[in-house]
A and B are shown apart, each in its own frame.
Chain A
């Protein structure tokens, strides 16, 4: 029988060794060393002892295996499955407690309040009215708000009747945690088939561009190795023909070996000797460095968010240096740029603006944490989290200013919020959108407390006095109307219509008498909008009973009619919402996360392009674009792409091209679809922004137009795509990846960002909230968007720098090491004689040079973090791949070539025919080997010192320690004791003592090392003087402390008028007023489950200022990106195809 257990680990203790070894040997480098090992055991070929390969290979395999094992142990924290008990209702009509892992598909389950759910379920019935359940899907998609799910009438009516439920034969549905008392569920998918597992299924293995480059380089190196070996083999052949054949007297030669055969053997012998050009320890070292740099990210206090105790986390340890090369950042909006907290900040009531704080001189003060908040203690029902600073408004309320009272009464009545009062006086609201919640909470604090509602009444506490308003009609919000109204009868019997909506819409419907008030209010609203606040205009109208009864009658007729009901309803609403009296306006702040504008400014300075991809409306998105500094007033133009057909979009794209005054702006004549084509960056005069609408975005993402689109988009400083689906998010990212040879980063917090996070080279998840989905599929996670600048500008830059320095130096030291063999070949009859002692060859990479270079790659920083922030331009070299490229690699090789020539020929010439000071031999092979290897080690160490720009004590310890280690190991291996123990393993006995006490040996070492380094110093110095890079300049300047960054508050003087505060879907007016289910046709959405990755929110809790989430988690809740209500969504799920 199949089990529901989900398995995410790769190994078990028994399979680990074979599986891991198998995997490791699939790596080309490891396989190559295995091959070398085979070569080395062939006596005719073996030019080195077996241990020279075995020791490094074993070490590398061990380190990698250890890392793999730990990775496997800690990988993928999937929600635990086995630990929860639940009541499992079997078709045999018994309720039984089961573990989740034992539940089978087809079981019917009874869940109780606050139980976890780990499978896809279909809701059958619930204890709540209307068979509603509230579920939280945080574990699935990161959204903390409660979502409404409703059972079908058919099943809902079955209630708790177990027998009937057992007869049920239906479809499936996905459920999560509920706050309902109990519910019955039908068990749909289990185990690996759950949506969760299907969704997080295949994450592609990400590689960095350096990785890819390294693979190419390693192939090149293989080619080069073969080339060198061929040359040496040819040399051997010639030598054999010319000299060797005569030298046979003294050489141990078997008969019948032709020169050709000898050359063949020599080729393989040299493959063994020169193998160090393909450094086996490279990969391991790279992994260690990345791991180290990942730890720095985990450890960084400046990326730790104390409010929810969340440190940054590098979830992938293989992508670090790519963080230093980001060119495009794709960001989600809600929860990433914004906190999804709406705060009631300001308002304008009857021509008077409230919300600003003035000092005695009448100067406007900035509101800081120290500004005195308004004391709401007069109101026992006030929400303590609500903060307001303008005392004038409270005074006005207390003075019973009628307009102010009407204003707040409207806010308390005109909404679709649900109130829950678990204990007396402890209210919590469930609002459909955070804006609405903010308004109702504001009214609550100012003494107009929305207490409860029934389908036909609303109870509020007005200045301590309980009043019940009869709710006669809700004229609900929708996207066309952009307003909502309620018609209520006050306890006194007065009929009144309250309306709130977008200013333009409301203004059209005002009574002429409001003209003057309109002007003042408009001015205020402009002011609010300039500060990036969202505004709503509020108005009311007194109705007379007769007119209303008549209207109500018609309303009833229309509601029950069958054809074009919605259209006719709208007309009817239109009719009654006229001659309104303006009350004022509210201003709600869609709170940005801390430091977002500054971060975006910094990223822009670092030439990182930020694209915002959001599910929000164009207007909202644009607004946020302005308020977070992405779009700016001073931009030459902000294009809007909102065509509804391919032709429109194409025309819009074309016209924008003209707008950018591209000279010779040739059409992309090359047929698009040519894969691998790279679109070059184009020079643009002026700054442009681009706003793309979701339905238009579909067209440019098609093959025929994507180049046009990309060209336009990339010429713009900022791009905002609104109303995009998760799939489109990923498509946009892929489009940029495909045509721009640029590194992309996607940052988001919700399940709708997962596709984008997976598609981008680097995915970043905003963590610290309940949601795990984005974080689970991300490579890095942290709590705040502003940490992105530290991740990129500091950690990324350092990682890139360190990795590049490491690679350059590593190749340098290995090439230098190896090339000396090549030169020596010309003096030893191409006989594959090594220049160095075999032990030195074994230990060179592992012991003598490993730690210094690791130290450099773990500690180096050209400039510290403060300077990195001060000069975001420092980030540019990474984007341009300047520090490690094919060119840089080639330079390394040339440098090595020079060094190796010096390293061979200086000792050669210095030792030629010379003797010790006592006349004895010092030009023998062993002394020469010792001399050359010592020269080499000094040279590469000094070179390392030149590379290192940040000498910590650890670095000094490593460098000096390695040199000391070299001499210690050398003297030990060349000691009498070692030789006596194993004569054939340590034949170099005495060499160190006999040659290193000679002054001319040391003079040779000095000469060689200095000669290797001098040209480098000269070149660098001259380059710094003649064409200094930005790094040189900053390094030069950094001897002083960086000037403190100005933390000037960004004041926008915007003339833009923001949109209305509703950003949400069709309202819940119907649900509120109806006692029965909705009977609206389901919208033609393809499939509910297919969209389930997107949020389908209904009631979302609000933020801190008005936080009343039933789960007590007020922050960063998520607004819905999609306009399908959960009820509609639910209907669409009933697609029988499922």
Chain B
């Protein structure tokens, strides 16, 4: 009936997009999806939770506090910061076979490595071996930027506060102290000692540190951190790297060494041991504690029961909720047709 169509110049395009007819999946929270979904998720979570918990339970951990609180603690005499250096010996007995590979950690608590001003107090350029920043460290390092007008290398609070207790472990075998070798390498991230932290190209390394001073709290300059291994010095000293990877939370543990020399590579046999600690690092002043931890690991890392338990709890809740939903659905079944 239409008269000769004028021209429909203004007629909108007839596409699915402009007409809002794009094909679409329109999911709904229907009983058929939600209830089986909950059951499945619940069962899967219970399975994961059991696996995690079993794994976590299988990890052996042996830890000791050595802050030195209390008169009868062997390290008590060292807890007073004045006499330095101070060595304390910690005798202990492991009454199970600590399966290897065993990792040796030190742990600090109430230590705020995540305090913002602390955690930014470093110079990434300097630590990646940029000599310009040796001369003039970045402002972020303040107040550990310069000492007597000489640039501090490595500058900043983190480096300055590097943990400097040292440990030696002996197994008491028939009253003789048999040393257990600590391997202080392979404890930091590959990216840290290959990419992020690099020494300047200068050889010998110490020349790069001319006209700089060591961090105030450090007994030795950076290029002498590991007297035994020249390659483990400067910014790529692995203990330094571990320290520089600041912890997320105020209670943390950091890897000190691995025990992977025979015969202890298989594990630490049950028996009595003696840990010789060079006690340098003051923590009592701020209410912190120090501890050492022997632990092995699994595919899921260190011992942590929480994840397993959480999975179990949530999985169970899911299953329970699905039952509740089923009851509700059966009772108040929402009328399909209107």
Chain A hits for B187, CB < 8 A: 919-920
Residues A920 and B255 in contact, CB atoms below 8 Å apart: yes
Those of B64-116 within 8 Å (CB) of chain A: 101, 103, 105, 107, 110-116
Q: How far is the CA of A96 from the CA of B29 in the complex (A)?
A: 77
Pick from A252, A309, A921, A1028: contact of B117, CB under 8 Å: A252
Given contacts A252-B142, A951-B25, contact A914 B302 (CB under 8 A): yes
Chain A proximity of B318: nearest CB distance (Å): 7
Those of A1010-1034 within 8 Å (CB) of chain B: 1010-1011, 1014, 1017-1018, 1020-1022, 1024-1026, 1028, 1032-1033
Q: How far is the CA of A984 from the CA of B111 in the complex (A)?
A: 25
Known: A252-B117, A827-B250. 14 other contacts (CB 8 A): A243-B110, A251-B115, A269-B116, A296-B20, A311-B10, A915-B302, A923-B248, A924-B247, A983-B196, A994-B191, A1010-B314, A1014-B41, A1021-B31, A1026-B328
A160 located at the interface, meaning its Cβ lies under 8 Å from any Cβ of chain B in the complex? no
Q: How far is the CA of A304 from the CA of B116 in the complex (A)?
A: 60
Which A residues form the contact surface with B (CB < 8 A)?
43, 47, 243, 246-254, 269, 295-296, 298-302, 304, 306-307, 309-311, 369, 798, 827-829, 831-833, 859, 861, 864-865, 906, 908-929, 949-955, 976, 979-980, 983-984, 987, 989-990, 993-994, 998-1000, 1003-1004, 1007, 1010-1011, 1014, 1017-1018, 1020-1022, 1024-1026, 1028, 1032-1033, 1035-1037
Pick from B101, B110, B125, B139: contact of A919, CB under 8 Å: B101
Chain B hits for A798, CB < 8 A: 20
30 pairs of residues in contact across A and B, judged by CB atoms under 8 Å? A243-B286, A250-B111, A250-B161, A252-B118, A252-B143, A296-B18, A307-B2, A310-B10, A829-B112, A831-B114, A859-B20, A859-B22, A910-B307, A914-B302, A917-B298, A917-B299, A919-B255, A919-B258, A950-B26, A952-B22, A983-B128, A983-B130, A983-B196, A990-B191, A998-B301, A1003-B307, A1017-B29, A1024-B29, A1025-B31, A1025-B329
Residues A1035 and B310 in contact, CB atoms below 8 Å apart: no
Residues B304 and A913 in contact, CB atoms below 8 Å apart: yes
Which B residues form the contact surface with A (CB < 8 A)?
1-2, 5-14, 18-31, 34, 38, 41, 45, 48, 52, 101, 103, 105, 107, 110-119, 121, 123-125, 127-128, 130, 138-139, 142-144, 156-157, 160-161, 187-192, 195-196, 242, 245-255, 258, 282, 285-287, 295, 297-304, 306-307, 310-311, 314, 317-318, 321, 325, 328-329, 332-334, 336-338
Nearest 6 CB-CB pairings of A with B: A990-B191, A928-B248, A299-B18, A250-B161, A831-B116, A919-B103
Pick from B9, B110, B121: contact of A309, CB under 8 Å: B9
Q: How many A-B residue pairs have CB under 8 A?
A: 305
Q: How far is the CA of A976 from the CA of B258 in the complex (A)?
A: 27
Chain B hits for A831, CB < 8 A: 112, 114-118
Q: How far is the CA of A989 from the CA of B190 in the complex (A)?
A: 11
Residues A1018 and B321 in contact, CB atoms below 8 Å apart: yes
Residues B242 and A921 in contact, CB atoms below 8 Å apart: yes
Residues A950 and B12 in contact, CB atoms below 8 Å apart: no
Q: How far is the CA of A369 from the CA of B2 in the complex (A)?
A: 10
Residues B255 and A1024 in contact, CB atoms below 8 Å apart: no
Given contacts A831-B112, A915-B301, contact A920 B250 (CB under 8 A): no
Residues B325 and A1021 in contact, CB atoms below 8 Å apart: yes
Given contacts A925-B246, A983-B130, contact A953 B22 (CB under 8 A): yes
Residues A1017 and B249 in contact, CB atoms below 8 Å apart: no
Chain B proximity of A899: nearest CB distance (Å): 15
Residues B250 and A921 in contact, CB atoms below 8 Å apart: no
Chain B proximity of A987: nearest CB distance (Å): 5
Q: How far is the CA of A910 from the CA of B309 in the complex (A)?
A: 10
Residues A47 and B26 in contact, CB atoms below 8 Å apart: no
Q: How far is the CA of A656 from the CA of B302 in the complex (A)?
A: 82
Q: How far is the CA of A798 from the CA of B19 in the complex (A)?
A: 13
Residues B26 and A949 in contact, CB atoms below 8 Å apart: yes
Pick from B18, B19, B245, B286: contact of A921, CB under 8 Å: B245
Chain B proximity of A112: nearest CB distance (Å): 29
Given contacts A299-B18, A919-B255, A989-B195, contact A925 B248 (CB under 8 A): yes
Pick from B29, B110, B336: contact of A1021, CB under 8 Å: B29
Q: How far is the CA of A908 from the CA of B248 in the complex (A)?
A: 9
Pick from B52, B247, B333, B338: contact of A1033, CB under 8 Å: B338
Chain B proximity of A313: nearest CB distance (Å): 10
Pick from A829, A912, A929: contact of B306, CB under 8 Å: A912
Pick from A833, A919, A954: contact of B297, CB under 8 Å: A919
Chain A hits for B11, CB < 8 A: 301, 304, 306, 309, 311
Chain B proximity of A1007: nearest CB distance (Å): 6
Residues A1007 and B285 in contact, CB atoms below 8 Å apart: no
Most buried by A among B2, B114, B297: B114
Select from chain B the residue with minimum beta-carbon distance to A1016: B29
Given contacts A304-B11, A306-B11, A311-B11, contact A917 B114 (CB under 8 A): no
Given contacts A243-B110, A246-B286, A919-B255, contact A909 B306 (CB under 8 A): yes
Chain B proximity of A665: nearest CB distance (Å): 36
Residues A990 and B114 in contact, CB atoms below 8 Å apart: no
Chain A proximity of B275: nearest CB distance (Å): 19
Chain B hits for A1036, CB < 8 A: 28, 30, 334, 336
Residues A300 and B302 in contact, CB atoms below 8 Å apart: no
Given contacts A831-B116, A915-B301, contact A909 B12 (CB under 8 A): no
Given contacts A249-B286, A910-B306, A1003-B52, contact A925 B10 (CB under 8 A): no
Residues B117 and A1026 in contact, CB atoms below 8 Å apart: no
Chain A hits for B105, CB < 8 A: 915
Q: How far is the CA of A185 from the CA of B301 in the complex (A)?
A: 95
Q: How far is the CA of A311 from the CA of B9 in the complex (A)?
A: 10
Given contacts A252-B117, A829-B115, A915-B302, contact A976 B247 (CB under 8 A): no
Q: How far is the CA of A1025 from the CA of B32 in the complex (A)?
A: 13
Residues A299 and B328 in contact, CB atoms below 8 Å apart: no
Residues A987 and B12 in contact, CB atoms below 8 Å apart: no
Select from chain A the residue with minimum beta-carbon distance to B13: A299
Residues B12 and A954 in contact, CB atoms below 8 Å apart: no
Residues B196 and A927 in contact, CB atoms below 8 Å apart: no
Residues B124 and A983 in contact, CB atoms below 8 Å apart: yes
Residues B119 and A833 in contact, CB atoms below 8 Å apart: yes
Q: How far is the CA of A913 from the CA of B48 in the complex (A)?
A: 20
Q: How far is the CA of A665 from the CA of B249 in the complex (A)?
A: 67
Chain B hits for A249, CB < 8 A: 161, 282, 285-286
Chain B hits for A253, CB < 8 A: 117, 143
Residues B115 and A828 in contact, CB atoms below 8 Å apart: yes
Chain B proximity of A882: nearest CB distance (Å): 18
Chain B hits for A861, CB < 8 A: 20
Q: How far is the CA of A1017 from the CA of B125 in the complex (A)?
A: 48
Residues B310 and A1007 in contact, CB atoms below 8 Å apart: yes
Q: How far is the CA of A253 from the CA of B142 in the complex (A)?
A: 9
Q: How far is the CA of A1037 from the CA of B335 in the complex (A)?
A: 10
Chain A proximity of B295: nearest CB distance (Å): 8
Given contacts A243-B287, A252-B157, contact A300 B334 (CB under 8 A): no
Select from chain B the residue with minimum beta-carbon distance to A798: B20
Q: How far is the CA of A1026 from the CA of B338 in the complex (A)?
A: 16
Residues A920 and B189 in contact, CB atoms below 8 Å apart: yes
Residues B248 and A927 in contact, CB atoms below 8 Å apart: yes
Chain A proximity of B202: nearest CB distance (Å): 18
Q: How far is the CA of A296 from the CA of B20 in the complex (A)?
A: 8
Q: How far is the CA of A906 from the CA of B306 in the complex (A)?
A: 9
Q: How far is the CA of A898 from the CA of B31 in the complex (A)?
A: 25
Q: How far is the CA of A926 from the CA of B255 in the complex (A)?
A: 16
Chain A hits for B318, CB < 8 A: 1014
Chain A proximity of B239: nearest CB distance (Å): 12
Pick from A246, A306, A1021: contact of B34, CB under 8 Å: A1021
Q: How far is the CA of A833 from the CA of B5 in the complex (A)?
A: 69
Pick from B1, B25, B189: contact of A369, CB under 8 Å: B1
Q: How far is the CA of A295 from the CA of B9 in the complex (A)?
A: 17
Residues A247 and B245 in contact, CB atoms below 8 Å apart: no
Q: How far is the CA of A993 from the CA of B192 in the complex (A)?
A: 12
Chain B hits for A910, CB < 8 A: 304, 306-307, 310
